[in-house]
Amino acid sequence: MYAIIRRIHLFTGLALLLFVIMYFITGYMLVHEAWLPPAEPKKSSRSVSIEYQGQPDSTEFTSYLEKTFGLRGSRSKPKHREDGTWEFEWFHPGTLYKAIIATNGKSATITTSDLGKVRIGYGLHRLHGYGGGWLYNVWAVIVDFSSLALIGFSISGIYLWHQSTNKRLPGWVCLAASFGFTTITVVYFLTAR
């Protein structure tokens, strides 16, 4: 059992090493945004003609926009705005595309935002969720594996420590301190004014 848990701890760590390090480094950048403030996004817009006949909220229309105008990224669900226009968005780390389709469906304004190099890191950290296209579904699967791995590292690590030594007092003190402090913090936020 020890050998199996150790191999899971080891090989999961080796397999997900780069993603886990990427998440912690980009997360650290987000927490300390003031150290490396991102530049203002650079925006450019263009007006285009739409030759597609069909429902604007269909996946075929989204594909038409992507292929015709080179819009790439994780696609969001189209929004029907109050003024009757449709809004489409695509995001990949560092770049945001927004297309506003006119009410008659025959033209669109496409805005491209270059979010800068620092926001590439933020974008990698925040990229999540299924339904953005096959590429982003693969990314979401990796996010799921990385998330499960963090839980697995903790639980398997505790098991490996417990099985590998008879001098367990220092370990129990560490666990009591960490889980105790976390519990106190959660209860504090649930009950404080």
Partner 1 sequence: MRKWILIIHLYSGLLCAPYLIIFGISSLKFNHRVKSEDATKELTNQWEQSLPLVPITNDTLTATSVRDSLGMLGWTMPWEMQRDTNGNLHFGLARPGKRNQVHVFVNENKVRVEEHRQSVGAVINSLHGLSGVPNSQLASIWGGYTEFCFLTAIFAAASGVYFWATSKRERRAGVAVLGGAIAFSIAFIIYIVIRG
Q: Which of residues 14-53 bind partner 1 (CB under 8 A)?
A: 14-22, 24-25, 27-28, 30-31
DSSP state letter for 40: P
Would you count residue 178 as binding partner 1 (CB under 8 A)?
yes
Total of residues contacting partner 1 (CB under 8 A): 68
The owner of tokens 């009591």 is 176
Residues 94, 98, 99, 108: which binds partner 1 (CB under 8 A)? Answer: 94
Residues 90, 101, 108, 122: which binds partner 1 (CB under 8 A)? Answer: 90
Would you count residue 57 as binding partner 1 (CB under 8 A)?
no
In the bound state with partner 1, the residue whose beta carbon lies nearer, of 68 and 72, is 72
Q: Which of residues 63-82 bind partner 1 (CB under 8 A)?
A: 72-73
CA 5 – CA 13 distance, rounded (Å): 12
Spatial contact of 46 and 40, defined as CB atoms under 8 Å apart: no
Q: Supply 106's token pair.
A: 């025959």
Name the CA radius of gyration of the chain, rounded: 23
Q: Supply 80's token pair.
A: 């029907």
CA dihedral (68, 70, 73, 78) positive or negative: negative
In the bound state with partner 1, the residue whose beta carbon lies nearer, of 46 and 77, is 77
| CA angle centred on 74, ends 146 and 113, rounded to 5° | 120
Site string for partner 1, 122-151 (x = CB under 8 A): --x--xxxx----x--xxx-xxx-xxxxxx
Residue 121 burial by Cβ neighbours in a 10 Å radius (0-12, 13-18, 19+): buried
Would you count residue 99 as binding partner 1 (CB under 8 A)?
no
CA distances from 153 to 115, 175, 181 (A): 34, 14, 20
Q: Shortest Cβ distance from residue 86 to partner 1 (Å)? A: 21
In the bound state with partner 1, the residue whose beta carbon lies nearer, of 55 and 178, is 178
Interacting residues toward partner 1 by CB under 8 A: 7, 10-11, 13-22, 24-25, 27-28, 30-31, 72-73, 90, 92-95, 120, 124, 127-130, 135, 138-140, 142-144, 146-151, 153-155, 157-158, 161, 170-171, 174-175, 177-179, 181-182, 184-186, 188-190, 192-193
